[in-house]
């Protein structure tokens, strides 16, 4: 059984509140889980004390058992000092799309023609 440390969504519409849970990778996002090890409230400010509440002792135990954390939870664990999250690099992310490049080329042609 492969285990995941992931977020399970709760809260009302447009007012999300997440539980950090240990679950089987095949279980649904908000479905059955093994253990709840913390909470995440994205509605609070980034520096608020209760934004991320995490039981680091239990998280360390489950990581030792082979549980894999999702990217968002990995950020929380990295901030708590439990694991090291490598920064990702996508150099194409900031590059404009094909249509935007076409529009920029058309604008450049019009500017050159008007001068």
Can you give the residue ranges of every domain in the chain?
3-80
The CATH superfamily assigned to 3-80 is Ribosomal protein S16 (3.30.1320.10)
Q: Under 8 Å CB-to-CB from 25, ≥6 apart: which residues?
A: 2, 3, 4, 68
Please check whether residue 3 is in contact with residue 62, taking contact to mean a CB–CB distance below 8 angstroms: yes
The mean pLDDT of the chain is: 92
| pLDDT 10s digits, 87-99 | 888 888 888 999 9
**Nearest-angstrom CA–CA distance, 42 and 45:** 8
**Nearest-angstrom CA–CA distance, 105 and 46:** 40
**Nearest-angstrom CA–CA distance, 2 and 25:** 6
Whole-number pLDDT of residue 90: 83
């Amino acid at each position: 059984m492969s285990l995941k440390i992931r977020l399970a969504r709760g809260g009302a519409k447009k007012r999300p509140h997440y539980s950090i849970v240990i679950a089987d990778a095949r279980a649904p996002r908000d479905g059955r889980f093994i253990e709840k090890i913390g909470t995440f409230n994205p509605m609070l400010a980034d520096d608020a004390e209760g934004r991320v509440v995490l039981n680091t002792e239990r998280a360390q135990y489950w990581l030792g058992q082979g549980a894999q954390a999702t990217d968002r939870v990995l950020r929380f664990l990295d901030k708590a000092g439990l694991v090291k999250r490598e920064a990702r690099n996508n150099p194409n992310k900031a590059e404009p799309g094909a249509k935007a490049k076409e529009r920029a080329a058309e604008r450049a042609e019009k500017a050159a023609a008007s001068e």
